[in-house]
Structure 1
Amino acid sequence: MLVDACWAGFVTLLCLVVSAGVLSELTVGWVGWLAWTLLGTSLPLVWRRTRPDPAMAAVALGCVFQLVIADNVVPQNLAALMMLYAVAAHGHPRWRYWWLAAALVGGVVGAWDWTYNWVRPAGAQRVEYAVISWVFVAAMSVACFVPGALARQRRDLVQSLRDRADSLERERDSMARLAAQEERARIAREMHDVVAHSLSVIVVQADGASYAVEHGDVDASRMVAARTLATIGDTARGALGETRRLVGVLREEGEAAAYTPQATLEQVEELVAHVNDAGLPATLTQVGDERVHEALGPAQQMAAYRVVQEALTNALKHAGPAATVRVELAHHPDRVELAVRDTGRGPGGGSDGRGHGLIGMRERMASIGGTFTARERVGGGFEVLASLPTRDPEAPTAPTVPVPVTTGRPRERE
């Protein structure tokens, strides 16, 4: 606003200097001339950018007043040209073209008023001079209006680009937060699967050893304790290694974390053997050949492994004594099916209701486009069913021959 005030002062000074010679031709005295200059020229220029439309209205009234008190061009008309630029650049979009039209119409009236008193005698020469004057006024009006319109267009374009950049930045931040939340959820599932499975094995082994020590003879108790401690140590070391792997993935930068080994379907056999050693009779049966479909990706194999691991963990915790568990892995051209069935007490057996295993398994299957079902068996026990889609459903089909593969021999719990 300070710049606008300086422009208003400059125009006022210009009017004082130039109008001194034509003051005698005006129909008002110094007081009227000064009031016209201040109210119709100088003061409106102070608000030419903050209140452009009211300021333009004040200047337009000053131009109408000029038709009464003066019959020629005066320095105050400079304010009208400056206001045309201002309304084009800062005024209301719907009003700016009306102001340009008003300037063009006012140019017609002003040109006729000026030539009526300047040109003698009347006739074609007066009309010719009036047309020339109006063309000059129209050209000056358009020449001031167009730069203002272009400045407004450029300012709107810059603002739209800024808004778009802000929107993209907000979208990027939102995507980053979503990615971080998904990564936290994935890590939480990994930690749950690793820690819950290992601690379940340790608890089962510890309880079994405690029972053997209390109710068995000394020699048998020593053998059970030694075997139990070995299993607990192996399980704890495996859990520690898995935990270190997860922490290493969090700390790795760039693409180095992509080379960290991950669990695969080939390790399911070791997992079943580990559960079998923990005291829960478990068997693994594979149906079909994995060559009938395209090789599963790392994410799919990790999801399948974790589902089996969590299902076996639940069987360890909730199936109860004298239960058995059977793991089935079936390969089809368009999918891989997993089934973990136990003969235990069914859902709710020994559960505290605070676990998140089923939710994690369902989320894993959903993340790779698979299906998941967990339900009570009709004949007793519990079963977990999962299906993973392969990446190439059109792979050639090979004959499916059941080939049972049994890991470990079912035995009585100690």
Structure 2
Amino acid sequence: MTAAERRSMWAVATPVAHVVLAPLTVITLVGVLHLGGGLWQILLAAAAAGLLHVGASLAGRRPWAGYGCAAVAMLVLAVTPFPGWSPSVLPSAACFPLVLWRLTTLVPVRSAVAALAVAVTGIVFTELVTWARSLPGVPGWTRPAEGGLLMLVVVSGWLAALAARRRREAGLRAERERLAAAVAGERAGIRRDLHDVIAHTVTVMVARIEAAAVTTTDPATRRELGDIAETGRDAHQGLRAMLSTLGRAAPGGPEAGATEPGGTEPGGDPRPREVPISIDAIPALMASAASPLHAVTYAETGERRPLSLSAEVAVVRTVQEGVTNALRHLEPPVEVAVRLHWSPAEVTVEVRDDGGRTRRGGGGPGTGLMGIRERVHNAGGTLSVDDGDDGWVLRARLPTKEGA
């Protein structure tokens, strides 16, 4: 229940209490007057009843002010002598547990406990005063019975208010967690898309520019292309820094909250679906990455089997990540071999490079491999990375629909 809904309910409950309890109190006081009650007693009780209704009205926006008015009114009723019974059982006295309920649902628990302690103390005081004024012949059990009834009403109402408060707080926590998960998922999706698409494209662009700079015979053109390549590398480093920031914001790691196609976010909301990626796009991907200094080959063996959408996305992104890492981290000339091997139960994706002329320094580790590991794991597969003397080997095994 939202804060606006709670205010709306209180705005309805207060007028109902006024309309129902005030006339009953008037009728009760008229009856007491006919039974021999003094006029000053009737007027004092009526004033206290009016203060109770004022407290109920104040409690909507100022719960402590409303509770203070109601407590003072109950004290006035407690010290007002009435023939044969306690004035605290006036119908308008029901405004007090109503105000206590409102206070308990809004203030800290310690303050709510203090308010309950005040109420219990007031009940004990009221019954002691009434017992001291008891007329001869009044059964002794009437005071404890009345006090027990009042205690039951007040304490049970307070406990119910506390339970409602805790349910509301649990609902708010669940809503905050759902929103946090949605934000984390959105951030992870943005980070992943930037990494998988933009970062790959920039890397390929820089590699092709470097290849053109090496093959050109014009010194000015070579310098210009070198400057362009350096600018591209700077842009790539800036992009990686931004991706790192996005990754830290998502609880649980760089890919926390990342979504796979067709799933659901916490709380039951549908996850955003990714644009379907086909294995048929791999040859074009390899062709765009190749240059005179970057030999990228692709081979596929075995009979192709149907894959789940998440597994197919993982295959393509694994190839893309392996090629991108080779182009980014190795000085050309570089040879990269991409192999897909199909069996009835699984497809094996292997991206192997020859180590290039040497490895580039600096840059630090990225988050791409962690993202790929997450994708492969979510698709039911495994990922391994081997760093040998003759280059890197990125290998993923993903189940087919027949082997799942």
Cα 1:106/1:388, change in 2 over 3 Å: farther
Structure 1, residues 165-215: CA drift from partner, whole Å, max 9, x if none? 43343233212211211111121112334422441354145325523x67x
Contact map agreement 2:307 2:400 (CA 8 A) in 1: yes
Q: Alpha carbons of 1:178 and 1:160: their partners in 2 closer, same or farther (altered >3 Å)?
A: same
User: Within 2, Cα distance between the matches of 1:343 and 1:170?
Assistant: 48
What is the distance in 2 between the residues matched to 1:275 and 1:44? 82
Relative to structure 1, the CA distance from residue 321 to residue 309 in structure 2 (aligned partners, 3 Å threshold; closer, same or farther) is: same
- Distance (whole Å) between structure 1 residues aligned to residue 281 and residue 293 of structure 2: 19
* Aligned residue among 19, 41, 50 for 2:67: 50
Closer, same or farther: CA 337–20 of 1 in aligned 2, 3 Å: closer
Q: Give the one of 349, 370, 385 matched to 1:373.
A: 385
- What corresponds to 2:338 in structure 1? 327
State TM-score, norm by structure 1: 0.53
TM-score (norm 2): 0.54
Q: CA deviation at 1:325?
A: 3.1
CA 1:85 to 1:142, structure 2 compared with 1: closer, same or farther past 3 Å? farther
Equivalent residue number for residue 357 of structure 2:
345
8 A Cα contact 2:120 2:151, kept in partner: no
Q: Distance in 1 between matches of 2:89 and 2:149?
A: 12
Q: Determine if contact 2:349/2:395 at 8 Å carries over to the other structure.
A: yes
Note if contact 1:108-1:134 (Cα within 8 Å) is conserved in structure 2.
no
> 1:22-51: CA deviations, max 9, x gaps?
66xxxxxx9xx68x948x967985768513
State the one-letter code of the partner of 2:67: T
- Give how far 1:263 is off: 3.8
SS in 2 for 1:365: helix
Q: Structure 1 residues 259, 99: closer, same or farther in 2, change over 3 A?
A: closer
Is residue 84–residue 141 contact of structure 1 (8 Å, CA) maintained in 2? no
| Residue equivalent to 1:191 | 197
Change (3 A) 1:392 1:259: closer
Equivalent position SS for 2:67:
coil
Task: Give the structure 1 partner of residue 177 of structure 2.
Answer: 171
Distance in structure 2 (CA, Å) of the matches to 1:313 and 1:167: 41
Assess if the C-alpha contact under 8 Å between 1:204 and 1:316 holds in 2: no
Once the two structures are superposed, the pairs formed by residues 127-138 of structure 1 within 5 Å of their partners are 130-131=138-139
In 2, the alpha carbon distance for the partners of 1:102 and 1:367 equals 68
Shift of 1:154: 6.3
Distance 1:108 1:326, change over 3 A: same
Match 1:262 to one of 258, 277, 286: 277
1:262 counterpart letter in structure 2? I
Deviation at 1:147, TM superposition (A): 6.5
Matches within 5 A, 1:21-100: 37=44, 45=52, 49-51=66-68, 52=70, 56-57=74-75, 59-60=77-78, 62=79, 66=81, 72-73=83-84, 77-79=86-88, 81=90, 85-86=94-95, 88-91=97-100, 92-93=115-116
Contact 1:335–1:388 (8 Å) recurs in 2: yes
Once the two structures are superposed, residues 224-255 of structure 1 have per-residue CA deviations (whole angstroms, 9 ceiling, x without a partner) of xxxxxxxxxxxxxxxxxxxxxxxxxxxxxxx9
1:181 aligns with 2:165: no
1:368 is paired with a residue whose SS is helix
Partner of 2:315: 304
Counterpart CA distance in 1 for 2:207 and 2:90 is: 89
Q: Equivalents in 2 of 1:282, 1:299: separation in Å?
A: 25
- 1:361 equivalent in alignment to 2:369: yes
For residues 176 and 261 of structure 1, do their structure 2 counterparts lie closer, same or farther at Cα, with a shift above 3 Å needed? closer
The residue aligned with 1:240 is none
Cα offsets for 1:348-388 (capped at 9, x unmatched): 2xx5x3487x521331222331424263x324xx3132323
Which residue does the alignment assign to 1:200?
206
Q: In structure 2, do the counterparts of structure 1 residues 90 and 394 end up closer, same or farther at CA, with 3 Å as the change threshold?
A: same
- Aligned-residue RMSD, C-alpha: 5.3
On the 8 A contact 2:287/2:296 being kept in 1, the answer is yes
- The letter of the residue matching 1:305 is V
Aligned equivalent of 2:246: none
The alignment status of 1:283 with 2:283, answered yes or no, reads no
User: 392, 397, 402: which one pairs with 1:383?
Assistant: 392
One-letter identity of the residue aligned with 1:306? R
Q: Distance in 2 between matches of 1:106 and 1:315?
A: 90
Residue-pair matches, total:
307
User: What amino acid is aligned across from residue 195 of structure 2 in structure 1?
Assistant: R
> Aligned partners of 1:100, 1:84: CA distance in 2, in Å?
12
Take 1:153 and 1:281, find their aligned partners in 2: how far apart are those partners? 74
